Amino acid sequence: MKTDTKYHHVPRWFEYISQLGASLLVDATGKLFRDYDYIRRLQSQPKQPRNKPKTALVRLPDELAYESEDDEVVAPEVRAKRYKQEEDTRHKQNEETREVMAKAQPLLTLEYLVSNLSIFDVTNPHDSVYALLGISKDTTPTAANKKLRVTDHTRAVLEMFTTKKQYKVDYEASYIDICKEFIEFCVSRNVNRDPSRALDVICRPFAIDVEQKSDELPLPSWIPRLSKASYGMDRGPGIDGLRMGRKNADSLVGLPNLSHRNYNAAETKSLDKKVFRFRKRVTKPSLNHFSLFVKGFVLDTIAELQPSSQSGSIPTAWAYFAGWGEMQATPPEHFWRTLVADRGSDGKNPPVYYSRACQESFRKGNTTSGVVDTTGLIEHERNSVVAQFCRRVQAAIWNRALVKTEAGRLGLVAANVKEHDFVCILYGCSVPVILRRHGPKELHVIKNEMKWELKFLADYVGESYKNHLGRPDLLISKQEALFWAIKQAMEGLACLLACLLLVYS
């Protein structure tokens, strides 16, 4: 709470300080690189015996290192040899130190950096991805190459055995293409790490809402917008200037993490690489249509839904909707678990006392106004358990709606979900997704889509055939260059042998 003359009595002024850009940058900076030089210095320090007092080691100057009262009996050649050996040892240690310092290794993946540092503004939308290529552990930025080269095939083969992959940088490409390439890169990397979570990247907001022209289509639904991020800078009521605050609920998939997963909706079903693909259909020079193809199945259908939560408050209608008419009694387990997305504040199983905390929240949350004021409980409730429960509730339901499926399941969905939408499980995604079926298409639309698909296939086959025809010429030119290099080397070697024969004849 701030108590100065300008911001006096503003509750929770520092509530989301951990989500500020400076805090995120400091947190990420400590994990960006492994300091090999620091590790080397720690390992090189001699361990002092526990029972012996520490002694200071004094390093004599080099010119006095071998001066002693017995120098008159030591030959100058011996002293020179000793001095040279020490110089060689010191030079070798310096070289090893420089080599080790040059091997500072990045520790974070591109997916983690883009997901975690998306709070920062960029002048060019492309830099939301490109600016982080040089400090990620799995990418090496390279200029986009439009021409086929022999070295490209060699490099592609070598990258199968390396951690860092080449990431092409092309500022002339459209921003939709940049987002598509980023998602494709993350999916291809996650297929090898954890194929059951390869598609989680489509649930983490990262794409900037760029200004679109009147004749352009919006970003496809499988590109998550940054406007759906959990936190952002906004104007608080009665506060001058911007402050960091919550805007939406947390992403259910969380940040990329190899050691812990929040959910496992697809279980052991991994991404089907044969089905996974992108399609870009150009209807006009400035009008593109993008599609993502993945494999999965329909689990259920949305039957009923309630209004979405506003500012993290719990509508009392949700309790009646879930069958909890007597809000003073113990809440049904399926209801309070849904309110916290069946997870605690650490992303693991919720504590058992959340049930009692839910009951206390409805009892003390001023339900006469039609909602449980979770913000008021966080600010004024002296029971820390209730405040902890309300924080978790806000992280799960902020701007989300409560729904019931045809099978009687409760769930939390985005505010724009409608009845009869499908609850689907995508192979390779750790959480269910909501999909909407489009109405029957008119005949001319189907014909146009068939033309787009045939044109794409024809262009793809034509480009592949063109590259195939160009490979022999590239190989021939490479062989000719190698032949002339060997020929010149042989001629030089022959001249050298002739000179040697003249000298020793």
The reported pLDDT for the residue numbered 1 is: 39
Tell me what pLDDT residue 181 has: 92
* pTM for this predicted structure: 0.70
State the pLDDT at residue 232. 80
Give the pLDDT confidence score for residue 47 in this predicted structure. 54
Interatomic CA distance for residues 114 and 132, integer angstroms: 7
- If one counts the domains in the chain, the total is 1
Share of the chain residues as helix, strand and coil, in percent rounded to the nearest 5: 45, 15, 40
* Other beta carbons within 10 Å of 297: 11
**Rounded distance between C-alpha atoms, residue 43 and residue 75, angstroms:** 37
pLDDT in tens, 167-176: 889 888 888 8
Question: Quick check: is 421 in a domain?
Answer: no
Q: What is the mean pLDDT of each run of 10 residues along the chain (505 residues)?
A: 45 59 64 58 55 46 39 61 73 58 70 85 89 87 63 49 75 87 92 88 90 69 89 73 82 80 86 86 57 92 93 92 86 94 88 92 87 89 86 94 94 93 94 87 71 74 77 74 79 77 67
In a domain, 206, yes or no: yes
Asked, for residue 441, whether it belongs to a domain, the answer is no
| Containing structural domain, residue 226 | 108-301
- Identity of residue 76: P
Is position 127 within any domain? yes
Helix (H, G, I), strand (E, B) or coil at 272: coil
Distance (Å, whole) CA 42 – CA 94? 16
Distance CA 391, CA 346 (A): 12
pLDDT, position 15: 59
Dist. CA 74–CA 68, nearest whole Å: 10
26 located within any domain: no
Six-digit token pair at 126? 């492309």
The type of residue at 134 is G
Flag whether 2 is in a domain: no
Q: Is residue 157 part of a domain?
A: yes
Amino acid present at 200: D
**Longest alpha-carbon distance in the chain:** 114
Distance, in Å, from the CA atom of 431 to the CA atom of 293, rounded to the nearest integer, reads: 17
Per residue in 439-455, pLDDT (tens digit) is 776 777 667 767 777 77
Q: What is the pLDDT of residue 97?
A: 54
Domain annotation covers residue 196: yes
Residue with tokens 């387990």: 333
